Structure 1
């Protein structure tokens, strides 16, 4: 549930450039960047919905948590490799992913038992 809530937060970015500025403070966004970030927000909604379903459907837990874990790890690696691109708003995303990471690992571990 914690990982689902964390992944629901950026879904507001689907609403447009103003909301994306609030979430990430990326500077000036052209229409292409807005579209890409809106798509990112939509994908986070897909992860969040899958995680919410997994709360009630045990057979969804490992695949959904696993895919979300790969996304979280991927972002953390990319942020680590591109530290100069991590502004204070993106640092909040890094921190949220660091909180989600152990939650997802626990879900996978407990579901295998």
Structure 2
């Protein structure tokens, strides 16, 4: 059915959005490009570790969403995890003044991804109802 294919596609897209920042975990030189923050300076090691850890966690969320695309029993937990992850970032981003343009770009991408996740949630709910 077309709704099953759409649901799978939505999980794949949102999973990829969460998985792509995982590159930072393996290539910390991409931090400045991804987040618009400098990782040079006396305290840069701390910031680098924190952002790389963030990348690992996003990668895990992305993997969960990609797995849920093909394993329907994982969809509800993946929806919850993805929603909490992106929603908490948006809450923090929009309640913190003076964020740079790169961070706000990430927030806008997360808004679009959450919208797709909501559509996926509605399709999952309708199928399970």
Superposition TM-score, scaled by structure 2 size: 0.81
Between the aligned partners of 1:20 and 1:109, the Cα distance in structure 2 is 34
Corresponding position of 1:95? 108
Corresponding position of 2:23? 12
Segments of structure 1 that go 5 or more residues without pairing to the other structure are: none
Corresponding position of 1:24? 35
Count of matched residue positions in the alignment of Structure 1 and Structure 2: 112
Q: After TM superposition, which residue ranges in structure 1, 4 or more long, deviate above 3 angstroms?
A: none
Corresponding position of 2:60? 46
Corresponding position of 2:4? none
Task: After TM superposition, give the deviation of residue 81 of structure 1 in Å.
Answer: 0.7
Matched, 1:62 2:73: no
Task: After TM superposition, give the deviation of residue 16 of structure 1 in Å.
Answer: 4.1
Between the aligned partners of 1:14 and 1:93, the Cα distance in structure 2 is 17
Between the aligned partners of 1:42 and 1:53, the Cα distance in structure 2 is 16
Segments of structure 2 that go 5 or more residues without pairing to the other structure are: 1-11
Task: After TM superposition, give the deviation of residue 26 of structure 1 in Å.
Answer: 1.1
Between the aligned partners of 1:6 and 1:83, the Cα distance in structure 2 is 25
Per the alignment, in what secondary structure is the counterpart of residue 27 of structure 1? coil
Between the aligned partners of 1:38 and 1:74, the Cα distance in structure 2 is 18
Between the aligned partners of 1:61 and 1:76, the Cα distance in structure 2 is 22
Matched, 1:3 2:14: yes
Give the conservation status (yes or no) of the 8 Å contact 1:66–1:108. no
